[in-house]
């Protein structure tokens, strides 16, 4: 019983109260953490929803009205009306006007996502079957990010969303994300940042976000990429500038690109000797 109330609560909860990760039975968006996502939420909550609700209510009213007013028992002789020019003009023009009104904010949001401002941090996300690899090209950092299996999850780690190596980015800085794939199509998506881009082999797609608050944010691969498509989550930690610099120092040692290349060479040499 309590569970049902809980579900109903989530069904009607406004977007603002929801968290950085999906909740059971959630209907709305996740809590926004960037201007891009706030724009999307505004467009959905204050533009699309009212228009859809008004149209649905109006059509329902018309149907009910016609059912009652023109029922067979009240209209023994059928009407022979077939055209009404005025009504035909109205039902062509009104939908056009609605589309034009919707197009203005819609294009504004689209273009603001497309124009990448000067980046403070650049990240490269590479989709593999089935995990994400990350590179910080300016920092000489490279690492892979695998999902943590259910049995290894610690307390407060969400299932199917937690990874071993998380991405770190500073808060209130422009982060440019270059997205590509190594095998098949994937898509790098982070709902709270309003970011979703296809990862295409042999091609780099770019997007950006500026996280407005600190926290851990979760996303998932959003292009059906194979048998383990559901098991390649994306975890991004938004931290303060100081914490980010501290992480960078450690990561430069732990995930040093040259070091990894050297290791690969050494492994290859050992194999050759054998």
CB nearer Cu ion, residue 121 or residue 125: 125
CB nearer Cu ion, residue 131 or residue 244: 131
Q: Measure the CA angle with vertex 166, ends 241 and 210; round to 5°.
A: 45
Following DSSP, what letter does each residue of 18-69 receive, concatenated? --SS--TT--SPPPP-SHHHHHHHHHIIIIIHHHHHHHHHHHHHHHHHHHHH
Smallest gap, in angstroms, from Cβ of residue 218 to Cu ion?
15
Q: Is 18 in the site for Cu ion (CB under 5 A)?
A: no
173 by DSSP, 3-state: which?
coil
Please give the structure tokens belonging to residue 244. Answer: 């980010």
CB nearer Cu ion, residue 177 or residue 225: 225
Smallest gap, in angstroms, from Cβ of residue 267 to Cu ion?
27
Task: Count the residues of the shown chain that bind Cu ion, applying the rule CB under 5 A.
Answer: 3
Chain position carrying tokens 């292009």: 223
Smallest gap, in angstroms, from Cβ of residue 84 to Cu ion?
53
Q: Which of the residues 184 through 223 are near Cu ion (CB under 5 A)?
A: 186, 221
How is the chain split among helix, strand and coil, in percent rounded to 5?
45, 25, 35
Q: Which of the residues 125 through 184 are near Cu ion (CB under 5 A)?
A: none
Q: Which of the residues 229 through 258 are near Cu ion (CB under 5 A)?
A: none
Smallest gap, in angstroms, from Cβ of residue 112 to Cu ion?
27
103 by DSSP, 3-state: which?
helix
154 by DSSP, 3-state: which?
coil
Strand partners, 256: 141
CB nearer Cu ion, residue 198 or residue 259: 198
Smallest gap, in angstroms, from Cβ of residue 178 to Cu ion?
17
CB nearer Cu ion, residue 18 or residue 234: 234
* Residues near Cu ion, by CB under 5 A: 186, 221, 225
């Amino acid at each position: 019983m309590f569970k049902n109330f809980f579900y109903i609560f989530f069904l009607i909860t406004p977007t603002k109260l929801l968290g950085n990760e999906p909740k059971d039975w959630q209907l709305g968006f996740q809590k926004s953490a960037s201007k891009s996502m706030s724009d999307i939420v505004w467009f959905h909550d204050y533009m699309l929803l009212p228009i859809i609700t008004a149209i649905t209510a109006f059509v329902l009213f018309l149907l009910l009205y016609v059912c009652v007013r023109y029922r067979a028992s009240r209209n023994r002789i059928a009407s022979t009306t077939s055209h009404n020019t005025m009504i035909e003009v109205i039902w062509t023009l009104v939908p056009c006007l609605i589309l034009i009104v919707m197009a203005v904010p819609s294009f504004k949001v689209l273009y603001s996502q497309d124009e990448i401002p000067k980046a403070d941090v650049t990240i490269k996300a590479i989709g593999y079957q089935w995990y994400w690899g990350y590179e910080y090209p300016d920092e000489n950092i490279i690492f892979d990010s695998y999902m943590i299996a259910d049995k290894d999850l610690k307390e407060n780690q969400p299932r199917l969303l937690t990874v071993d190596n998380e991405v770190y980015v500073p808060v209130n800085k422009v982060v440019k994300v270059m997205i590509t794939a190594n095998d098949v199509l994937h898509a790098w998506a982070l709902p709270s940042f309003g970011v979703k881009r296809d990862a295409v082999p042999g091609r780099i797609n770019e997007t950006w976000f500026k996280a407005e608050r600190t926290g851990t944010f979760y996303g998932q691969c959003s292009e059906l990429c194979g048998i383990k498509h559901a098991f390649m989550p994306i975890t991004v930690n938004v931290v303060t500038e100081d914490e980010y610099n501290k992480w960078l120092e450690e990561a430069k040692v732990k995930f040093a690109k040259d070091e990894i290349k050297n290791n690969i060479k050494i492994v290859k040499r050992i194999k050759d000797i054998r």
